[in-house]
Amino acid sequence: MTCLSVNVNKIAVLRNSRGGHDPDVVRAARTCLEAGADGITVHPRPDRRHIRAEDVLALAQLTQQRGVEFNIEGNPFAPAREGYPGLIELCRQTRPAQATLVPDTDGQLTSDHGFDFARDASRLEPLVAELKSLGCRVSLFVDADNAMLARAASLGADRIELYTGPYAEAHLGGQPQSSLAAFAAAARRAQSVGLGVNAGHDLSLANLGDFLAAVPGVLEVSIGHALIGEALYDGLDETVRNYMAILRQHRTD
């Protein structure tokens, strides 16, 4: 069964552009949940350009009250600094259902590649273990063509999140078939070693259905940028409901 976790980072971007408290990130998250979303995702970064540590605490409280999943994404290697206690510490304070580890650098505009396990495995393994000791399910952000994808399982991760940017680009270009085949093969490789499969980045109302139809066993999609952009035209409640309608068409027990 594929779940929808709405990434509310872009709400915080808009708020931060003027300062103050509007639009309200928690209110937006509540609207998403009331429209049927299965959970909320945030990706706090050290520069605090969108979601901030205080938002993470408030959204953790909301999701705990609602009994839904909270997913915190971030770079586990980024050191703590003023206003940003670090990913592991945020997870320690909030105990999210899922921690998604992503190898983005401080100055990176958005996440655009997965982990290189040949380089990163030795540093990841103890952090995965620490997060699991906090009760978090751990997902690692990976590229579909990663030849060492199965390494995520030996590191102790529960899931991978397939970086779907290349698929979205191929779909926009009108030739998604080879990309879909690559993602389907990656999902099967992950599942064969016991990993659950999540997906995210540039998924949208236009391309989500084709992805789910081709890629087996996707447990969760994390969608933010496209969803918030679409909500500018149709409203947040209706947009989330439109996503849920697509998910219902492809949900399997």
Own/partner long-range contacts of 245-251 (Cβ < 8 Å, ≥24 apart): 246/205, 246/208, 246/209, 246/212, 247/2, 247/3, 247/4, 247/208, 247/212, 247/221, 249/209, 250/2, 250/209, 250/212, 250/213, 251/1, 251/2
Q: List the one residue out of 104, 101, 199, 221 whose CA is nearest residue 152.
A: 101
Instruction: Supply 10's token pair.
Output: 């872009």
Instruction: Give the pLDDT score at 1.
Output: 77
pLDDT digits (tens, 9 = 90+) for 159-179: 999 999 999 999 999 999 999
Tally of structural domains, the chain? 1
- Please compute the mean of the pLDDT values over residues 192-219 and round it to a whole number: 98
Instruction: Give the pLDDT score at 83.
Output: 92
pLDDT digits (tens, 9 = 90+) for 55-114: 999 999 999 999 999 999 999 999 999 999 999 999 999 999 999 999 976 665 566 678
Assess whether pLDDT exceeds 60 at residue 151.
yes
Residues of the chain with pLDDT > 70: what percent?
96
Assess whether pLDDT exceeds 70 at residue 195.
yes
Extended strands (E) in the chain: 3-7, 39-42, 69-74, 98-101, 137-142, 159-163, 196-200, 218-223
Whole-number Å distance between alpha carbons of 201 and 178 = 18
Per DSSP, 63 falls in state: H
Instruction: Give the pLDDT score at 108.
Output: 57
Choosing from 73, 161, 220, 230, the catalytic residue is: 73
Instruction: Give the pLDDT score at 109.
Output: 55
Residues of the chain with pLDDT > 90: what percent?
92
Choosing from 50, 69, 161, 201, the catalytic residue is: 201
Is 21 catalytic? The answer is no
Whole-number Å distance between alpha carbons of 171 and 120 = 31
Instruction: Give the pLDDT score at 253.
Output: 45
Is 225 catalytic? The answer is no
Q: What is the CATH number of the domain that holds 146?
A: 3.20.20.70
- Parallel, antiparallel or unpaired: strands 218-223 and 3-7: parallel
Q: List the one residue out of 80, 75, 84 whose CA is nearest residue 49.
A: 84
144: containing domain: 3-250
Assess whether pLDDT exceeds 80 at residue 36.
yes
Instruction: Give the pLDDT score at 16.
Output: 96
Instruction: Give the pLDDT score at 106.
Output: 65
